[in-house]
Each structure stands twice: as structure tokens, then as C-alpha cells.
């Protein structure tokens, strides 16, 4: 039987995909793979550890709730050291968990490649997730020896198709699809994100603050170069410290690169113009964000070739 590699993000759907697969194939060999950017939210790390223990069928380690320093984009080293120690302890305690890293944060990648990522070009995800996970897998498996499970949901048909095409010769599976392996009557069928969150809570997994805050996603602490204006507006109101740190990091690197372009673009009329977070801040404060912009959340799908 092929080994299934559950790609975990610290979020609900990648856990749910793994849970669904394990329920269907309890005896199948598996590995869990998480690539760290060192700027995930504390909730994401806690959910990752508890979720991985749940998938592995072991008790969650007693350090699952240990204190993690807050994100500091200017000085990430103290947090990085704590997280590496946490990763080592988690891998010792949870069979099948592989917690890997390139060593840099997304902003350190942007500085190295001299380019700030955006919704179309994401060097952070490429260097810190996709390339790293591909290398990990290639060192251990041939394409016909494993399956790769990802947490795309049943309402993401286009992405599911793309990942299967672009991922070849590797075989990606999406257990949250309605019609996965023809299953239509199991306990997980037709479930969306709210139901997965409830299912996780019933299994004793910690609830992420991102769900209380109704954020579109929580990757990289809620900030993301691929997020849209609407998501950044949400972050401005709900996680002002994250907005402020990304705003400062963006302004610093734009100055260093002598470029007017940061992550976002203003597409209101005429050709698109740069929209640094400092400018978005002013527009939010003036109530100058259109309804269409506010609905532009962007799709993260970090780590996936979609």
C-alpha cells in the first residue's frame, strides 16, 4: 500500500483531510509534513501539535500549550529558536510528524530574492514550502510510492483539478472532495469548514482564534502576500499588531529596493497602481475602501502548486 503524506498547515482543512483518510484507511502507512515559516500564529502551532497527535493516535504532548514568543518580523531569531526546540520535541513525541524548515521567514526570503511577493508571484511559499516539501519527498519516495493529501475543500473544484494536473507525476489526493473515492454516505460527507471546526472541537483539539475572528485564513500569522485588500482590512481591525509589523516590513524593503511596489495594487479605474499597506491604512481610516475591495480576500493555498 502506498504511503500517504498528509501536508499539514496548522489549519483545519489539512487536519480534516488527514482525519478523513485515517478513518477510511486506519492501517495505511502515513507521514505528516509541515514546513515552518516561523511566523505562524501561536494558535496554528498549537493546533498543528494537537492535530498531529490526533492523526497519529497518541496523547497530545504536555508541552502543546507552551508559551511561544510573539511574532517579531524585525527580530525573528528568539522566536525561531523556541520553535525549532518545539519542533524537535513534537517530532520526538508524535510518530510520523515531520516538521521541517528552510530557516528563513517570508520577509527574509523577499530580502534575499530582492522582490516583495504578491498575489501572483510568491517566492515565500515557493522557497519555504513547495521546494522544501518537494525535496523532502523526493529524498524518501518515488512518485509511485506515495500519495499526497492536501486540505482543499469540496467547493474548490478548480484548484483540485489544477493541483492534480500540475502536481504530476506525484499523485495528489483531496479527501475533502464530496466524491472522494465515491464515498457519499460517510460521516464527513458534505461537511464544510464550520463542521470541521466542530468535529475538531469534539475530538478535544484547541480552537483557533482565527475562527473567533472570522478571518479568511491564518497562515503566516494572518498576514499573507497573496491576501486581498478585504483580508488586510480585516487584519487592520482584528490584528492591528500584525498589520503594523507587515506595514513596517514592507515600507523598509520597498525603500531598500527603491521600488514603489509592495504586496497590493490599487485597481480602481485606469492602470493599476501600487498600494502599500501604509496607503491602505489611510484609506481604511478615511472609510475609503469599496465594497468590491472589501470582498477581495484572496486565496492563500500556500504550499500548493495551484
Q: Does 93 bind ligand SF4 (CB under 6 A)?
A: no
Candidate segments 94-102, 121-129, 233-241, 271-279, binder of ligand SF4 by CB under 6 A: 121-129
Closer CB to ligand SF4, residue 50 or residue 302?
Answer: 302
Pick the closest to residue 216 from 248, 191, 239 (CA basis). 239
Work out whether the CA dihedral 121, 123, 124, 130 comes out positive or negative: positive
Q: Does 106 bind ligand SF4 (CB under 6 A)?
A: yes
Question: In Å, how far are 147, 251, 256 from 90, measured between CA atoms?
Answer: 24, 36, 38
Q: Does 125 bind ligand SF4 (CB under 6 A)?
A: yes
Closer CB to ligand SF4, residue 216 or residue 225?
Answer: 225
Candidate segments 120-128, 228-236, 240-248, 285-293, binder of ligand SF4 by CB under 6 A: 120-128
Contacts of 166-171 spanning 24+ positions with Cβ under 8 A: 166/305, 166/306, 167/305, 169/143, 169/144, 170/137, 170/143, 170/146, 171/143, 171/146, 171/147
Q: Does 219 bind ligand SF4 (CB under 6 A)?
A: yes
Q: Does 302 bind ligand SF4 (CB under 6 A)?
A: yes
24-43: which residues touch ligand SF4 (CB under 6 A)?
Answer: 37
Q: Does 224 bind ligand SF4 (CB under 6 A)?
A: yes
Query: Binding pattern to ligand SF4, positions 147-186, x when CB under 6 A?
Result: ----------------------------------------
Give 3-state DSSP helix, strand, coil % of the chain, rounded to 5.
50, 10, 40
194-213: which residues touch ligand SF4 (CB under 6 A)?
Answer: none
Candidate segments 116-124, 136-144, 146-154, 240-248, binder of ligand SF4 by CB under 6 A: 116-124
Query: In the numeric block, which cell numbers belong to residue 225?
Result: 502576500
Pick the closest to residue 243 from 71, 115, 68 (CA basis). 71
* Interaction site with ligand SF4 (CB under 6 A): 37, 106, 117, 122, 124-125, 128, 219-220, 224-226, 300, 302
Amino acid at each position: 500500500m502506498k504511503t500517504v503524506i498528509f501536508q499539514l498547515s496548522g489549519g483545519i482543512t489539512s487536519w480534516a483531510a488527514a482525519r478523513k483518510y485515517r478513518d477510511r484507511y486506519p492501517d495505511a502507512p502515513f507521514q505528516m509534513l509541515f514546513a515552518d515559516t516561523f511566523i505562524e500564529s501561536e494558535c496554528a502551532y498549537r493546533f498543528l501539535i494537537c492535530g498531529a497527535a490526533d492523526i497519529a493516535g497518541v496523547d497530545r504532548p504536555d508541552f502543546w500549550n507552551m508559551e511561544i514568543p510573539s511574532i517579531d518580523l524585525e527580530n525573528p531569531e528568539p522566536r525561531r529558536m523556541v520553535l525549532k526546540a518545539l519542533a524537535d520535541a513534537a517530532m520526538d513525541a508524535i510518530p510520523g510528524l515531520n516538521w521541517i524548515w528552510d530557516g528563513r521567514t517570508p520577509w527574509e526570503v523577499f530580502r534575499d530574492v530582492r522582490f516583495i511577493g504578491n498575489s501572483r508571484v510568491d517566492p515565500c511559499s515557493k522557497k519555504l514550502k513547495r521546494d522544501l516539501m518537494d525535496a523532502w519527498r523526493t529524498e524518501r519516495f518515488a512518485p509511485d510510492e506515495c500519495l499526497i493529501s492536501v486540505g482543499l475543500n469540496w467547493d474548490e473544484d478548480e484548484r483540485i483539478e489544477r493541483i492534480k494536473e500540475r502536481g504530476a507525476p506525484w499523485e495528489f489526493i483531496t479527501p475533502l472532495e464530496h466524491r472522494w473515492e465515491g464515498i457519499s454516505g460517510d460521516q464527513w460527507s458534505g461537511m464544510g469548514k464550520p463542521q470541521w471546526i466542530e468535529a475538531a472541537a469534539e475530538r478535544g483539539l484547541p480552537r483557533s482564534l482565527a475562527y473567533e475572528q472570522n478571518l479568511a485564513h491564518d497562515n503566516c500569522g494572518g498576514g499573507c502576500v497573496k491576501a486581498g485588500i478585504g483580508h488586510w482590512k480585516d487584519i487592520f481591525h482584528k490584528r492591528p499588531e500584525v498589520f503594523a509589523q507587515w506595514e513596517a516590513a514592507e515600507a523598509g524593503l520597498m525603500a531598500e529596493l527603491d521600488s514603489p511596489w509592495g504586496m497590493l495594487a490599487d485597481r480602481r479605474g485606469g492602470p493599476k497602481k501600487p498600494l502599500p499597506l501604509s496607503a491602505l491604512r489611510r484609506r481604511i481610516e478615511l472609510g475609503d475602501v469599496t465594497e468590491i475591495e472589501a470582498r477581495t480576500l484572496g486565496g492563500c493555498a500556500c504550499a500548493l502548486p495551484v
